Amino acid sequence: MKSNEALLIIDYTNDFVADKGALTCGKPAQLLDQSIVDLANELHSQGAWIYLPTDVHKPNDPYHPESKLYPPHNERDSWGRELYGHVNDWYQANRFDEKVHLFDKTRYSSFAGTDLDLRLRERKVDTLHLTGVCTDICVLHTAVEAYNRCYNLIIHRSCVATLSDEAQAWALNHFKNCLGAKVVE
């Protein structure tokens, strides 16, 4: 049993993955779809917790720092914020399972301003499997904060993507060399 482990599927939404998404990673992110579902099925069947920290924004929010960096994206109740593809199908089929939880996040890190750390500690989770997008932004910031909170990290290379090959390579090296993460296929 992997009850001390959790899978995080970070920001796998239409705006970050679909061809018409506001901040899409495009094909590299779309190619993750089935791999993420396969991993979710595997870990879920072994007793792991599945969390889907999902970026959410208010339209025209002048106080959010991302408003200065990016076009509007992942706005609440929009097509762009919906989970993408088979991951959405998987979530819809499992959303009432007590071990599956989608929650809002408003910053890069899945820990910032959320109850994620509390949930993980209550459930005695010490190992996090990280998947989703963008490898060098939200996945990375989540990993850094998880590292600082003493979680073991496993990054699934076949389940993360970002906007460029260079950023992907840099982030994967950073996970391994600076955060002591185990990087696996």
The model's pLDDT over 36-85, given as tens digits with 9 standing for 90+, comes to: 999 999 999 999 999 999 999 998 888 888 888 888 899 999 999 999 99
Question: What's the chain's Rg over C-alpha atoms?
Answer: 15
Q: How many domains does the chain have?
A: 1
Collect all residues with Cβ–Cβ distance below 8 Å to 64 and sequence separation of at least 6. Answer: 57, 58, 106
Reported in sequence order, the residue ranges of the chain that DSSP labels E, i.e. its strands, are 5-10, 49-55, 100-105, 127-133, 152-161, 182-184
DSSP string of 99-131, one letter each residue: TEEEEEE-SSSSSTTSSHHHHHHHTT--EEEEE
What is the full per-residue pLDDT of the chain (185 aa) written as tens digits?
899 999 999 999 999 999 999 999 999 999 999 999 999 999 999 999 999 999 999 988 888 888 888 888 999 999 999 999 999 999 999 999 999 999 999 999 999 999 999 999 999 999 999 999 999 999 999 999 999 999 999 999 999 999 999 999 999 999 999 999 999 99
pTM for the predicted model, two decimal places:
0.97
CATH number for the domain harbouring residue 110: 3.40.50.850
What is the extent of the structural domain holding 87?
A: 5-184
The pLDDT assigned to 68 comes to 86
